[in-house]
Amino acid sequence: MPYLFTSESVSEGHPDKVADQISDSLLDHFLAFDNQSKVACETLVTTGLTVLSGEVKTQSYVDVQQVARDVINKIGYTKGEYQFDGNSCGVISAIHEQSPDINQGVVRASEEEQGAGDQGMMFGYATNETENFMPLALDLSHMLLKELSKIRRENTDINYLRPDAKSQVTIEYSDDNKPVRIDAIVVSTQHDDFGPEAEMLEKIKKDIKEILIPRVIAQLKPEIAALFNDSIKYHINPTGKFVIGGPHGDTGLTGRKIIVDTYGGKGAHGGGAFSGKDPSKVDRSAAYATRHIAKNLVAAGVADEILVQVSYAIGVAEPMGIFVNTYGSAKVDLNDGQIAKKITELFDMKPSALIKRLKLMNPIYSETAAYGHMGRTPEVKTVEFNTPGGNSKMEVETFTWEKLDYVDQVKAAFGL
């Protein structure tokens, strides 16, 4: 029987995402000047206030208040009427040094024996229903908001947009798990107060349907664009008015959008957030590594979709185990346990090994903090960071866990 599946996304101006971006920008600045920094930064944003907290062990000095203000301004909170802007909000830092009890479990005499920064389980997922091996509902939700952000920054076709926004896409799937049509789209966007409520809502609905949606469809492959139809149920600013938003409308905290950050509810999630954590924290690095494994296995044709779990004990290098679920979609004559065993032979999942494999000691994290950590495009770029003590300029590779660089090895191992 056909079924519906829904995923949501939030914009870079959503209060939780503001917090994530500040935390990851702090992490990048620490890593840029000392790539051995151990960082766990948490951020809270609310009306007129940003609070920075967490644990850091580093040889570098970073003006954390200025970093936070720069991020807030870049997102678009630059006006006093938002009740939260980068130039005037208070910024309080309560960052202190990392616990030596944790540090002794991570740092070892032999780099290869580096222990996991915490216990827990991490999941990676991939599906062949999209070109980037991501669930379609989440992919479309992200696209809607990325395009809405472009429109806001252009300030031409639609000139009343504010930074906060959310989207949601519901897709009907057939019995054989193929997307058939889009059933519903939700878009809630913060906006200026530019008239009577009914007139504002009518204008926003018209602009979303006639400007945003066509711009998104134009970017899609024909088979995905064909899922858009005249019977889609649109819910646009369903409360009727969305002037008060951002951290003034709702307090934001680092790590509250872990499903938006990963797979939109498909697959599974171990519960650990990513932003503000250096790669010794396996909550982050192992989630990237399992995504890398899942994506390469699906791309190689091992299965149509695959979920990979890895688990760790704090201070222990070897993972507790690898679990695989192919949801009955495997294309090889092996059960899921046998596929998991082959993964352990192909991919070294010790923290030090996966950190090296994915080049995670670099300042590459700010870009991950909005519109998803997975399904993004790897890119080699030059980045520059400035602090009161100097500047750092380097070439880095972003989203390395999205590279299809193990496909040939996977095919050889599985006889494909």
pLDDT of residue 318: 87
pLDDT for 218 equals 97
Span of 23-32, 111-120, 308-317 with lowest mean pLDDT: 111-120
What pLDDT shows up at residue 111?
A: 62
Q: What was the pLDDT predicted at 120?
A: 87
Residue 100: what pLDDT? 60
Instruction: Please report the pLDDT score of residue 101 as a whole number.
Output: 54
Count the alpha carbons within 13 Å of 356 in the hemisphere toward its beta carbon: 10
Note the pLDDT tens digit of each residue in 194-248. Answer: 999 999 999 999 999 999 999 999 999 999 999 999 999 999 999 999 999 999 9
pLDDT digits (tens, 9 = 90+) for 341-373: 999 999 999 999 999 999 999 999 999 999 999
Q: How far is CA 173 from CA 2, 6, 137, 331, 364, in A?
A: 6, 11, 11, 21, 36
Whole-number pLDDT of residue 113: 63
Model confidence over 291-305: pLDDT tens digits? 999 999 999 999 999
> Could you write out the DSSP letters of every residue in 256-270?
--HHHHTTTTSS---
Confidence of residue 78 (pLDDT cuts 50, 70, 90): very high
Tell me if 3-10+135-244 shares its fold with 120-128+281-414.
Answer: yes
Residues belonging to the binding site are: 14, 16, 42, 55, 98, 164-166, 241-242, 250, 256-257, 273, 277, 281
User: Cα separation of 166 and 159, whole Å?
Assistant: 18
Write down the CATH number for the domain with range 120-128+281-414. 3.30.300.10
Question: Residue 33 above 90 pLDDT?
Answer: yes
- pLDDT of residue 104 exceeding 80: no
Residues at the annotated binding site for L-methionine?
55, 98, 250, 281
Going 124 to 315 to 336 to 415, the CA torsion angle's sign is: positive
Average pLDDT taken over every residue of the chain:
94
Dump pLDDT digits (tens) for 44-55: 999 999 999 999
CA atoms of 125 and 335, how far apart (whole Å): 18
Rounded to 10 deg, the angle between the 64-75 and 15-33 helix axes is 130
Nearest to 309 by CA among 323, 297, 298: 323
Which has more pLDDT, 102 or 182? 182
Closest by CA to 7, choosing from 100, 137, 150, is 137
In this prediction, residue 390 carries a pLDDT of 79
DSSP class per residue in 57-84: E-S----HHHHHHHHHHHHT---GGGT-
Residue ranges per domain, the chain? 3-10+135-244, 120-128+281-414
**CA–CA distance, 70 with 372 (Å, rounded to integer):** 21
Task: Specify the pLDDT at position 153.
Answer: 96
| The CATH number, out of the four listed (3.30.300.10, 3.40.50.300, 3.40.190.10, 3.40.250.10), of the domain defined by the range 3-10+135-244 | 3.30.300.10
Which two three-digit tokens encode residue 171? 């897709």
Annotated binding site for ATP: 14, 164-166, 241-242, 250, 256-257, 273, 277
The predicted model gives 254-283 an average pLDDT of: 96
Q: Note the pLDDT of residue 106.
A: 59
What are the tens digits of pLDDT across the range 191-202? 999 999 999 999
The pTM assigned to this predicted structure is: 0.94
Binding annotation for K(+):
42
- Percentage, residues of the chain above pLDDT 70: 96
pLDDT tens-digit series, residues 330-339:
999 999 999 9
Residue 240 is predicted with a pLDDT of 92
Q: Which residues make up each annotated binding site for Mg(2+)?
A: 16
Given this model, what pLDDT does residue 110 score? 55
Question: Is residue 114 predicted with pLDDT exceeding 90?
Answer: no
